[in-house]
Structure 1
């Protein structure tokens, strides 16, 4: 160090001071920018497409009449049913085919009476039906009676005509005989009125019944022979 002259700082310290000043300036500039009151604006474009409103779901359900074509339990044909579950009649169907339509001629059940004798080869049965005329005209027809065995073989046949006035009844009776008394027999009768009565179709009507025609003389003979044989066997055992 020189005496009496000004004191100069070393060059190294001066260089350090310059570098430090430059660093402070570099740091101060961003801080001032961030401290500014500049407003940042964000623009949002309204490009969204509005979502359409949901549409109502419509389900087509067939009506209670059953218009689907197949009636199922509603009946067959046009698929329309009544309250009883039966198909409604077709408008083009004839009047005699309508459900619930009364026939002009009705027939009662078959009554059977065994009139056989003791002769096992001479069976006899009286069969009868009652014919009622519900029409407004007198009708004439034929009733055919027959009897057959359990194998379906006819043993006797009789035909009887009848005439019934309007709103009247008539009993038609036939006696079937000349057949063997062969136990269980089938008796039947078919009443055939005119095919058309008062403008309505009238089909034949059949009634039938089962009856026993037992040859009692044969049964009695078998019973007597059995008793005699039993008595003889007992006598032999005792003797």
Structure 2
């Protein structure tokens, strides 16, 4: 069995008498340790896929498996533990606690983890060794995103999910964040999933999943991914 598997997954949102199928009979697999890019236009169903994979949204039909466990079959209590211990989230906006330092923001996440990494060590790994005592308002957008990545990595999750992680950043900073995510995946053997509308990002992925109209229209292994430092878009 693959590390991540979607089996005929559908998600239908109901608004009164109106039904909207955000995801339709979707199937794909991801292997452990891969750096994955899920790409598609706005409204294709990318965020819905990420929310179901992260245990934040229930499937309407089908099954989702992660590390041999059927996530789609979990009750609320098990889903809470799954999100807490197995998943790291990185969002477009950093969601840092403003009255806590960079180090304290990362420490906060490790307090609810089973086997966390050392917060200071992870902050040094993401290039913030000299900024640990700074508050979010004293950091640039790229530095705040690095804190959010450190916070997610310090949980030592099985799966790191990133929702448009460069969307609020300038070109150079966004490129450095992609490099950091790619390097974190390869250095630590982490399975990292990035969703984006930017097709250029597919060049750095180990696996590319293309989504259109709620369907996974392609699941491709990239035999020769580029280093994120060389990416141009």
TM range (shorter): under 0.3
TM-score of the aligned structures, taking structure 1 as reference length: 0.24
TM-score of the aligned structures, taking structure 2 as reference length: 0.25
- Larger helix proportion of the pair: 2
Greater length-normalized contact order (CA 8 Å, ≥ 6 residues apart): 2
